[in-house]
Amino acid sequence: MPLEAFQVLSAALFCIGLYGVLARRSAVLILMSIELMLNAVNINLIAAAAHMDQTAFTGQIIAIFVITVAAAEVGLALAIILRIFRNRSTVNVDEVDLMKW
C-alpha cells in the first residue's frame, strides 16, 4: 500500500476526532475523541517511519512516546472530570463556563 493511503486514513480519523471534540457535550466523549486524534497521529507516524525511515524508525519510537503520554493524559483528564462531577454532578461542558464574560 502506498504511503498516501495511510496518510489519508490518518487525516480522516483525525478529522473524525476533531468533529467529536467540537461537537460533543459530555466531557468523557470529548476525551474519547481526543484519543481518536492521537491515534490518527500515531498511524501517520508509524506508516511514515515504515515507508521512509527504514534505518532508524524514528517515527515509531515517537509513536511509543505518544502512546505513553496519551495514557498519562487520560488518567489526569479523568481525574479532573471526576472532580468536576463531584462538585457539580454533571460532566456537561456547557455548564463549565465560569470563565465567560
Partner 1 sequence: MSEPLFVIVAILTLGGGLGVVATRNVVHAALFLLLSLVSVAGIYLLVFAEFLALVQVLIYGGAIIIVLIFAIMLTRSQEYPRISDNPQWPLAIVAGLAVFGVLAASFLWNLPPASEPEGPGLAKIGESLFTKWAVPFEVVSLVLLVALVGAIIIAGRAGDRE
Partner 2 sequence: MGGGLDRPSMDLAELAWLIPSLSFVAFFLIVLFGRFLPGQGAFVAILAIAAGFAMFWVVLGGFLGAECPDSFGQKTCTFNREWFTAGSVVLSWGIIIDPLTVVMLGLVTLVALMVQVYSLGYMHGESRFGWYFAVHALFVASMLALVLADNFLLLYVVWELVGVCSYLLIGFWYERRSAAEAAKKAFITTRIGDVGLLLGILLLFKEVGTFDMSTTFAAVSAGEIGEGTLTAAALLLFLGAMGKSAQFPFHVWLPDAMEGPTPVSALIHAATMVVAGVYLVARAFPIFEAAPDALIVVAAIGLITALMGATMALVVTDLKRILAYSTISHLGLMMLSLGAFGYTAAIFHHLAHGFSKALLFLGAGSVMHSMNNETDINKMGGLRRVMPITTLTFTVGALSLAGIPIFAGFWSKDEVLLAVLDHKNYLLAFALIAAFLSAMYMARALYVVFYGELKAENNHVHESPWVMLAPMAVLAVLAVIFGFVAIRITEAGGIGTFLFFNYPHGFEFNTGLGVGSIILAVGAFVLGWYIYMARRISLGPWKVRFAAAIRVVGNKYYLDDLYQWGVDRVVMAFSRFVALFDRVVINDKAVNGPGESVRRSGLNLRYHVTGRMYNYAMGMAVGAVAIAILWWVLTTST
Interacting residue ranges for partner 1, rule: CB under 8 A = 1-9, 11-20, 22-26, 28-29, 31-33, 35-36, 39, 42-43, 46-47, 50-52, 54, 56-57, 60-61, 63-65, 67-76, 78-83, 85, 89-92, 94
- Coil, strand or helix: which one is 62? helix
Per CB under 8 A, 93 contacts partner 2 = yes
Q: Rounded distance, CA 74 to CA 30, Å?
A: 11
> By C-beta, is 19 or 65 nearer to partner 2?
19
Q: Rounded distance, CA 3 to CA 8, Å?
A: 9
Per CB under 8 A, 23 contacts partner 2 = yes
Dmax over CA atoms of the chain, in Å, equals 53
